Amino acid sequence: MARKLRILIAKPGLDGHDRGAKVVARALRDAGFEVIYTGLHQTPEMIAEAAIQEDVDAVGLSILSGAHMTLFPEVMRLLREKGAGDILVFGGGIIPKEDMEALYKMGCGRLFGPGTPTQEIIDYLREKFPDRT
């Protein structure tokens, strides 16, 4: 039986703008995925631990505070350190193109800026995990 796609959606750091994260979480649920939503004010450590305990396929970070160049790499580093470097890290928010390129070079998954249709995120995840439903 094909496994369901399991995604962790998290708001790292102090940023409290969760409209996007909640909309994406709902959209993923409506696409049939299981979404673990961790809420606000998560440290990278908390996110990495949750991702491992829940054995998610991917972690989606939403950052609108400008702190993305610190938070994305830190989450990726912690996952690798804990033996879960294969968990995909992707995300969205307010991230200049230049920074997106830099994060991609570090191994980050796709970053979705404002205006992205939710279907695009769903398609991306389905494409990344073809053996999941």
Partner 1 sequence: MNEYEEIRREKARWERCVDKGDIGSFQTVSGLPVEILYTPLDLTNFDYLRDLGFPGEYPFTRGIRHNMYRGRLWTMRQFSGFGTARDTNARYKFLLAHGETGLSVAFDFPTLYGRDSDDPMAMGEVGKCGVAISSLEDMETLFEGIPLGEVSTSMTINGPAAVLWAFYIVTAEKQGVPSERLRGTIQNDILKEYIAQKSWLFPPEPSLRIITDIMAFGAEHVPKWNTISISGYHIREAGSTAAQELAFTLKDGMTYVEAGIKAGLDVDTFAPRLSFFFNSHLDFFEEIAKFRAARRIWAREMREKFKARKPESWLLRFHTQTAGCTLTAQQPENNIVRTAFQALAAVLGGTQSLHTNSMDETWALPTEKAVLIALRTQQLIAEETGVINVIDPLGGSYYVEALTNQLEQQAYEYFKKIDALGGMVKAIEQGYPQREIAEAAYRYQKAVDEGRRTVVGVNKYVLEGEKLEIPILKIDPRVEEEQRERLARLRQRRDNARVQKVLLDLKAACAGKENVMYPILEAVRAYATLGEICGAMKEVFGTYAEPPMF
Partner 2 sequence: MSELTIDNLLERFGRGDRRACGQILSLIENESTIATEILNRLYPAMGRAYRIGITGPPGAGKSTLVEKLALLSRKEGRSIGIVAVDPSSPFSGGAVLGDRVRMSALFTDPEVYIRSMATRGSLGGLAVRTKEVCDVLDAFGKEYIIIETVGVGQMELDIAEAADSTIVVLVPESGDSIQALKAGLMEIGEIYCVNKSDREGADRIVLEIETMLELRGKNDGWIPPVVKTSALTGTGIAELYEQIIAHRRYLEGSEALQKRRWQALRTEIQRLVEQKVRARLWQNQEINARLEELVTDTMQKKLSPYQAAETLLNEMVGNGKRRSSVRREGD
- 92, two tokens: 């969205």
32 touching partner 1, by CB under 8 A: no
60 touching partner 1, by CB under 8 A: no
53 touching partner 2, by CB under 8 A: yes
> 3-state class of 35 per DSSP?
strand
Among 36, 69, 100, 102, the residue binding partner 2 under the rule CB under 8 A is 36
3-state secondary structure string, 105-125? HCCCCCEECCCCCHHHHHHHH
CB nearer partner 2, residue 42 or residue 62: 42
> Of 60-68, 82-90, 94-102, 106-114, which segment contacts partner 2 by CB under 8 A?
82-90
Among 3, 4, 32, 39, the residue binding partner 1 under the rule CB under 8 A is 39
Interface with partner 1 in residues 61-120 (CB under 8 A) = 64-67, 69-71, 74, 94, 96-98, 113-115, 117-119
CA-nearest of 66, 7, 84 to 38 is 7
DSSP 84: -
Window 90-129: contact mask with partner 2 (x via CB under 8 A): ----------------------------------------
For binding to partner 1 (CB under 8 A), which residues are involved? Answer: 13-19, 22-23, 25-27, 37, 39-40, 43, 64-67, 69-71, 74, 94, 96-98, 113-115, 117-119
